[in-house]
Amino acid sequence: MNNDDLKTKSGFGTVSRRSALKMGVGLAAVSAIGMPTILRAQEGPIRIGHLTPMTGFLGTLGQWAVEGIQMAAEEINAAGGIKGRMLEVSSEDSINPESAATKAQRLLERDKVDFLMGEISSASALAISEVATRNKKLFMALGPRSDVLRGDRCSPYMFCTDIPNTVMVNAVGSALKRDGMVDGKKFFTITSDYVFGHDLLAAAKNFLSANGGELIGDELVATDVTDFSAFILKIRQARPDVVCLNLAGNQVTNFVKQYAEFGLPFPTVGFNLNTADAWAAGVGNLAGTWPTVWYDTLQTPGSQAFVKAFQTKYGKTPENHAWIEYIALKIAAQAMTETGGANTADMVSYFESGAKFDILKDRPAYFRAADHQLIQEAYPFAVKPSGSYSDVHDMMQLGAAVPGPNEPLEAIYPSTDMATCKA
How far apart CA 43 and CA 342 sit, in angstroms, is: 12
pLDDT digits (tens, 9 = 90+) for 108-160: 999 999 999 999 999 999 999 999 999 999 999 999 999 999 998 999 999 99
Q: CB count, 10 Å around CB of 305?
A: 11
Buried b vs exposed e over 83-108: b needs ≥16 C-beta within 10 Å? eebebbbebbbbbbbebbbebbbebb
Across the range 259-269, mean pLDDT stands at 95
Q: Decide if pLDDT at 33 tops 70.
A: no
CA distance 46 to 422: 25
Contact status, residue 157 vs residue 148, Cβ threshold 8 Å: no
- Quick one: pLDDT at residue 187? 97
Helix, strand or coil for residue 163? coil
Say if residue 18's pLDDT is above 70.
Answer: no
- Could you tell me which of 257, 255, 297 has the C-alpha nearest to residue 382? 297
| pTM metric for this prediction | 0.86
Rounded Cα distance between 357 and 355, Å, is 7
pLDDT in tens, 62-120: 999 999 999 999 999 999 999 999 999 999 999 999 999 999 999 999 999 999 999 99
Mean pLDDT over the full length of the chain: 89
Question: HSE on the CB side for 330, CA within 13 Å?
Answer: 19
Q: What share of the chain is helix, strand, coil (3-state, %, to 5)?
A: 45, 20, 35
If residue 172 lies in a helix (H) or strand (E), which one and from where to where? Answer: helix 165-178
Domain 166-297+379-398, CATH number (from 1.20.1540.10, 3.40.50.10210, 3.40.250.10, 3.40.50.2300):
3.40.50.2300
C-alpha 385, offset from chain centre: 31
Main-chain phi, psi angles of 292, to 5 degrees? -150, 155
Nearest to 54 by CA among 70, 66, 39: 66
Q: How is the chain split into domains, by residue range?
A: 42-163+299-377, 166-297+379-398
User: What fold is seen in the domain 42-163+299-377?
Assistant: Rossmann fold (3.40.50)
Bridge partners (DSSP) listed for residue 141 = 118, 160
pLDDT digits (tens, 9 = 90+) for 303-361: 999 999 999 999 999 999 999 999 999 999 999 999 999 999 999 999 999 999 999 99
Common-topology check for domains 42-163+299-377 and 166-297+379-398 = yes
Element containing residue 283 per DSSP (H, E): none
Which among 218, 225, 285, 299 is positioned nearest to 257, based on CA atoms? 285
Q: Is the peptide bond before 164 cis (omega within 30 degrees of 0)?
A: no
Compute the distance between CA of residue 290 and CA of residue 398 in angstroms, rounded to an integer: 10
